[in-house]
């Protein structure tokens, strides 16, 4: 199915470009990010891919929130985005980091259909869609990093997707408030490497990056 993407208001583009600058990213990435946003907004009317309905709100809560992970991907060549939903944070990261190989893992059929259309429309040769449950993805030890955004507890994420990581791989979990209870309940064999606040332009809410590695 081909769905025409709407034209976005100029204020949306201006907010995105300002946010990109604040995150140390080139505004040249804006056109492709806006094309993704327009496609998401259009499909969302029919398929309910995200609870955020207003396009302007999607800039900070989806695009810039996802891109706050960008500075923490140095040295990472392969990333599995677990339970990516409509492609967050995986698609924005694939757009701004064309050398990063991103696997978008999503078991929901309608969301996977959107992901395939977005990857095709945006020409993202560095992104692929894996329509499967996380624990069923048969790629043990193939990824430098896995990430998840508002998916589950840290322990649950590791139980579902820890097998995907290389021995030196990292979980880069995107959280709201600092998840101290989850940190205290990590399963054996894993250790917290760092917990770092994230500043998301235009978003007045707590955000944290939790980095977890295998225990020595």
Average confidence (pLDDT) over 104-130: 97
CA distance 108 to 30: 28
Structure confidence at residue 52 (pLDDT): 62
Residue 113 falls inside a structural domain: yes
Residue 134 falls inside a structural domain: yes
**pLDDT exceeds cutoff 70 at 6:** no
**pLDDT exceeds cutoff 50 at 3:** no
Residue 58 falls inside a structural domain: no
Residue 8 falls inside a structural domain: no
Residue 182 falls inside a structural domain: yes
Q: Residue 214: beta bridge partners?
A: 190
The 3-class secondary structure across 90-151, one letter per residue, is: HHHHHHHCCCCEEEEECCCHHHHHHHHHHHHHHCCCCEEEECCCHHHCCCCCCEEEEEEECC
Report the percentage of the chain scoring pLDDT > 90. Answer: 84
CATH number at 194 reads 3.40.50.150
- Domain that includes residue 179, residue range: 65-214
Residue 187 falls inside a structural domain: yes
In tens, the pLDDT along 193-204 reads: 999 999 999 999
More confident residue, 58 or 76: 76
Residue 89 tokens read as: 């944070």
Structure confidence at residue 148 (pLDDT): 95
Structure confidence at residue 109 (pLDDT): 95
Residue 42 falls inside a structural domain: no
Structure confidence at residue 189 (pLDDT): 97
Judge contact between 207 and 122, C-beta under 8 A. Answer: no
Report the percentage of the chain scoring pLDDT > 70. Answer: 95
Mean pLDDT of the chain: 93
Tally of structural domains, the chain? 1
CA distance 60 to 62: 6
**pLDDT exceeds cutoff 80 at 87:** yes
Average confidence (pLDDT) over 115-143: 98
Structure confidence at residue 91 (pLDDT): 98
Residue 101 falls inside a structural domain: yes
In tens, the pLDDT along 35-70 reads: 999 999 888 888 878 766 676 678 998 899 999 999
Structure confidence at residue 53 (pLDDT): 67
Average confidence (pLDDT) over 124-145: 98
Could you tell me which of 155, 216, 152 has the C-alpha nearest to residue 189?
216
Q: Could you tell me the pLDDT band of residue 215, with boundaries at 50, 70 and 90? A: very high
């Amino acid at each position: 199915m081909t769905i025409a993407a709407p034209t976005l208001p100029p204020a949306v583009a201006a907010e995105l470009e300002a946010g990109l600058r604040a995150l140390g990213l080139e505004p040249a990435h804006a056109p492709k990010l806006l094309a993704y946003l327009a496609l998401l907004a259009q499909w969302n009317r029919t398929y309910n891919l995200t609870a955020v309905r207003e396009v302007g709100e999607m800039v900070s809560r989806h695009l810039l929130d996802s891109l706050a992970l960008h500075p923490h991907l140095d040295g990472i060549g392969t990333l599995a985005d677990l339970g990516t939903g409509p492609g967050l944070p995986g698609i924005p990261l694939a757009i701004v980091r064309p050398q990063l190989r991103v696997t978008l893992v999503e078991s929901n059929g309608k969301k996977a259909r959107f992901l395939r259309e977005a990857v095709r429309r945006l020409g993202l040769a560095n992104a692929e869609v894996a329509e499967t449950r996380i624990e069923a993805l048969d790629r043990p030890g193939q990824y430098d990093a896995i990430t998840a955004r508002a998916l589950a507890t840290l322990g649950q994420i590791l139980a579902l997707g820890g097998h995907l990581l290389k021995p030196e791989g990292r979980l880069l979990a995107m959280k709201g408030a600092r998840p101290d209870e989850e940190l205290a309940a990590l399963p054996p064999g894993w250790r917290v490497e760092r917990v770092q606040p994230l500043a998301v332009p235009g978003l007045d809410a707590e955000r944290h990056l939790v980095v977890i590695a295998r225990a020595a």
